[in-house]
Amino acid sequence: MSAGRTVSSRSSPETMVAVIEDDAAARRALTRMLRAHGLRVASFSTAEELLQSFAETRPGCLVIDVMLPGMSGPDLVERLRTDKVSPPAIFVTGRIDAPEMLRRRGLGDVPCLLKPFEPALLVQAVSRALKTAPAHS
């Protein structure tokens, strides 16, 4: 397990949330916020790190920073959609222009929270996403 990845064993597999955020402090804050609501969390510092362990992690939802080193958040969602293994995603970003950029890329259906945001907004978005996530067999 790399320094950027952490996993909590709380809760059931259906509630696994993968947090992909390159800023360590933001990644810790997002992870703590979700764990405080009883969710199992795996956190990653890059999209590539998530892809390496995707089959093992099997997240029910992704919380993804838009701007990541290497593969960006939107690139990751597009790749997973192409591979037909895409759980619901929620973008988090400090970029005010991100919602328009996501619409232009055809990702306007993915919720986008602008930093800083109220923790309740993320928890609500994740709860909705987990309800729509396909069951793992």
71-126 pLDDT tens trace: 999 999 999 999 988 899 999 999 999 989 899 999 988 999 999 999 999 999 99
pTM: 0.86
Q: Is 79 exposed, middle or buried (0-12, 13-18, 19+ CB in 10 A)?
A: middle
**Residue 94: half-sphere exposure toward Cβ, Cα within 13 Å:** 7
Type of residue at 55: A
- pLDDT tens, position by position, 39-83: 999 999 999 999 999 988 889 999 999 999 999 999 999 999 999
Q: 6-132 — its CATH code?
A: 3.40.50.2300
What mean pLDDT, rounded, does the chain reach?
87
63 to 1, 72, 90: CA distances (angstroms):
19, 13, 5
What are the residue boundaries of the structural domains of the chain, listed by start? 6-132
40-44 vs 6-7, strand pairing mode: antiparallel
Using one digit for the tens of pLDDT, what is the confidence trace for 6-25?
Answer: 444 344 545 799 999 999 99
Residue type present at position 26 = A
Question: To the nearest whole percent, how much of the chain has pLDDT over 70?
Answer: 85
